[in-house]
Structure 1
Amino acid sequence: MKSEKKQTLCEITSEVEAYFDGLSYHKVRIRVYQNGWKLLKQFMEEHRMKFFNAKVCDAFITSVLNEMSYSDLSKKEKDTIRSANVLTEYQTTGMIRFRSVRKDYNFEGEIGNLMQSFLSYRKAQGMSEDTITSNKLYLHRFLTYLNSNSILVLSDLGKQQILGFINTLGFSSKSTIHCTLSSIRCFLRYLFDNKYLDYDLTYLVPKSSYKKEARLPTTYTKEEIERLLNAVDRSSPKGKRDIAMILLAARLGLRASDICGLKFENIYWETNTIHLIQRKTKEKIELPLLAEIGNVIIDYLKYGRPSSDLPYIFLRAAQPYDKLEEPTLHSIVSFYLKRAGIKNADQKKHGPHALRHSLAGILLEQKTPVPVISEVLGHSNTESTKTYLRIDLKSLRQCALEVPKIQSPYYQEVY
């Protein structure tokens, strides 16, 4: 078990930092933990403690309490105790429970009930959870505005109330304005189509010209990927699991959701292929089970995977031996990128999706046709793959044109 492994404070804090990073913890919050770990380091050095474990954590917390009750401590002292506790929790279970509670949006009253019906309708249409969550957020803001202006029944909803709410969006970001307007427009259309409203009020909601700019994909070079793979200790059960998952992302470009959801039934050993339905696109994909990947999966199944009846191949390394979740895989990749000493990894995307991007970049360097790359990555069409053309700098340079000289007395040629 992970709790029996001897770890220095530096080793355990590095793992937890990578875990936080994978969960997109804010840098300010991570610094709070780091400040607590500095005090813990001083405590361990003073008492000549080499390895961190639960007993060390208890001794440190006792010193912080100093015979005071927890409720009497300052916020800084409570944060210090929390900083030590998360290390023990991660060391013992391999994860850290969230302390924040996800906000629950209440849709009350006549309009709120209609919004709830609209959300159920969207779900029945097959809309993604992300889309429904977005609709829920922005419609709840609209409902809060209506309630604050005593608009409690649908018959009171009109032009003044709709435009009044839209005017409050002036200081919001372009993406927030776009998503809000889209949610309201769809809701009003639903009310009219289902005869809750006699008039179609969608004309009151202006259309946004906002378009989300596609970001330049983060990639790592072929040499950096090899350094990442070499950074994994393949002798331990955890390392056997980690190398198998990382190779699936780096060599086959599988998404984190598909790697974590990979089942025994998805691997066809007789044909050396992987068959699955992608979680994101719902499209079927068939990929070759490369010998390199097949061998490490077999090694993990024989000597690393805990005994379990779960259908999933990759499980947590410590009890409870549940299915591995995507944030944990992100933390794993991030951890090994840091261990490999790859420059600027902190300033770039550093999860499994970056390995997927890197595979596309390597294939482009090898002059692989875009339709083939699209097939490998499981894109439903080549348009999604074309975004990777922007990272093929060698080919882009061939398209560059010489800058013509400017015939002007104010132009000075630089040598």
Structure 2
Amino acid sequence: MNWKQAISDYTNFLKIEKGLAKNSIESYSRDIKKLILFIDTLNTPISPINITSEIIEQFMYDISQKLNPRSKARLISGLRSFFDYLVFEDYRKDNPTDLIESPNTIRKLPDTLEKEEIDNLINVIDLSHPQGERNKTIIETIFSCGLRVSELINLQLSDLFFNEGYIRVLGKGNKYRFVPIHSTTIDRLNFYIDDIRPAITPKEKEEDIIFLNRRGSRLSRQMIFIILKELAIKTNLKKSIGPHTLRHSFATYLLKNGADLRVIQQLLGHESITTTEIYVHLDTSYLKEVVNLHHPRSAININDQ
């Protein structure tokens, strides 16, 4: 991935998923372009994938002479957000800005959805038309299997192994993995494939793609974001939501119900456990529950003695 492609993908993410205004998006882009201008002076091929924290430290030292502390903090925050996105999408295993000191920088953990919030999203879908049935199937599939949006839109009929209880997913680096799928999601997919999808004539080379638009083409990433945004508005959901929110919720629920982090790493298709830890944050109420349940000094365990 080169810088041009990275900026394009990131700004689309900010616009469609985060819903940022044009001026805010341009501000984020300027931060990255400042870094690129510095890299150009080094006369060394450096991409957003292989840039190191040392290079960014050099950049910050070079530019900090011209910035006040507040501007410096904002610049670091902008770069950190960009590299968080690359880690989030599995283009990188780490964020090279993590070791860069920044005054008054607070990092926001990704949102998760409660079960009731996911149910509400599904319940407001208009099932009187085929697109509604498709959209319900999409949400059920992402949340049931923890798919990336790119994995969902490229899912094919030949990837379904319902008798075995798995689907085959083409993830980052063109690597396949098998993900278990719940029987209720199998039923939902079977209904969509058998009763809804046949009314659409797939375009050439799209015959095997599961989720199609009305013109017979596979759905775009942007379309999935838009579908979820519109449903969130209907339910008055105040959280920032996108396909990654459902994926993150999938992983968080597994962890809270006792799944090992390494297992979740395999299900999500992460090469690095560090990436999984970014998706799967623990809320303080759950941490308190774990300590009270398992620590030898907890009231529960003392009473059992």
TM-score interval, smaller chain = 0.5 to 0.7
Q: Is the 2:224–2:243 contact (alpha carbons within 8 Å) kept by the matching residues of 1?
A: yes
- Deviation digits for residues 160-197 of structure 1 (CA, Å, limit 9, x no counterpart): xxx87674466441256789xxxxxxxxxxxxxxxxxx
Q: Is the 1:240–1:296 contact (alpha carbons within 8 Å) kept by the matching residues of 2?
A: no
Name the Cα RMSD after superposition: 4.1
Q: CA deviation at 1:27?
A: 5.0
Residue aligning to 2:190: 298
- Structure 2 counterpart of 1:323, from 218, 223, 229: 218
Output the amino acid matched with 1:353: H
Q: CA deviation at 1:391?
A: 2.4
Q: CA deviation at 1:283?
A: 4.1
**CA distance change for structure 1 residues 350 and 214 in 2, over 3 Å: closer, same or farther?**
same
Residue aligning to 2:210: 313
Instruction: Give distance in 2, aligned partners of 1:299 and 1:258.
Output: 20
- Structure 2 counterpart of 1:217, from 110, 115, 128: 110
Instruction: Give distance in 2, aligned partners of 1:169 and 1:221.
Output: 42
SS of the counterpart of 1:304? helix
- Deviation digits for residues 249-290 of structure 1 (CA, Å, limit 9, x no counterpart): 1111111111111122322244332112313x6543211233
Instruction: Give distance in 2, aligned partners of 1:249 and 1:312.
Output: 16
SS of the counterpart of 1:331? helix
Residue aligning to 1:262: 155
Instruction: Give distance in 1, aligned partners of 2:265 and 2:232.
Output: 26
Task: State the TM-score, normalized to the length of structure 1.
Answer: 0.47
Residue aligning to 2:267: 376
Instruction: Give distance in 2, aligned partners of 1:209 and 1:375.
Output: 27
Correspondence list, 1:243-254, <5 A: 243-254=136-147
SS of the counterpart of 2:263? helix
Q: Is the 1:253–1:376 contact (alpha carbons within 8 Å) kept by the matching residues of 2?
A: yes
- Deviation digits for residues 185-228 of structure 1 (CA, Å, limit 9, x no counterpart): xxxxxxxxxxxxxxxxxxxxxx9941797632311112222222
Output the amino acid matched with 1:297: L
Q: Is the 1:251–1:359 contact (alpha carbons within 8 Å) kept by the matching residues of 2?
A: yes
- Structure 2 counterpart of 1:239, from 117, 123, 132: 132
Output the amino acid matched with 2:201: S
- Deviation digits for residues 107-163 of structure 1 (CA, Å, limit 9, x no counterpart): xxxx97996xx65xx6xxxx6xx649x99xx9xxx9xxxxxxxxxxxxxxxxxxxx8
Q: Is the 2:169–2:178 contact (alpha carbons within 8 Å) kept by the matching residues of 1?
A: yes
Q: Is the 2:143–2:250 contact (alpha carbons within 8 Å) kept by the matching residues of 1?
A: yes
Provide the identity percentage.
22
**CA distance change for structure 1 residues 164 and 292 in 2, over 3 Å: closer, same or farther?**
closer
Instruction: Give distance in 2, aligned partners of 1:222 and 1:391.
Output: 16
Which sections of structure 1, spanning at least 5 residues, go unmatched?
A: 1-19, 30-101, 106-110, 143-162, 180-206, 402-415
Instruction: Give distance in 2, aligned partners of 1:334 and 1:175.
Output: 25
Instruction: Give distance in 1, aligned partners of 2:291 and 2:156.
Output: 45
Q: Is the 1:178–1:210 contact (alpha carbons within 8 Å) kept by the matching residues of 2?
A: no
Residue aligning to 1:336: 231
Residue aligning to 1:22: 16
Q: Is the 2:130–2:196 contact (alpha carbons within 8 Å) kept by the matching residues of 1?
A: yes
Task: State the TM-score, normalized to the length of structure 2.
Answer: 0.61
**CA distance change for structure 1 residues 167 and 355 in 2, over 3 Å: closer, same or farther?**
same
Output the amino acid matched with 2:187: N
Q: Is the 1:267–1:275 contact (alpha carbons within 8 Å) kept by the matching residues of 2?
A: yes
SS of the counterpart of 1:315? coil
Instruction: Give distance in 2, aligned partners of 1:385 and 1:241.
Output: 29
Instruction: Give distance in 2, aligned partners of 1:208 and 1:333.
Output: 31
SS of the counterpart of 2:186? helix
**CA distance change for structure 1 residues 355 and 392 in 2, over 3 Å: closer, same or farther?**
farther
**CA distance change for structure 1 residues 286 and 114 in 2, over 3 Å: closer, same or farther?**
same
SS of the counterpart of 1:390? coil
Output the amino acid matched with 1:360: A
Q: Is the 2:142–2:243 contact (alpha carbons within 8 Å) kept by the matching residues of 1?
A: yes
Correspondence list, 1:277-296, <5 A: 277-279=170-172, 282-296=174-188
- Which deviates more, 261-270 or 170-179? 170-179
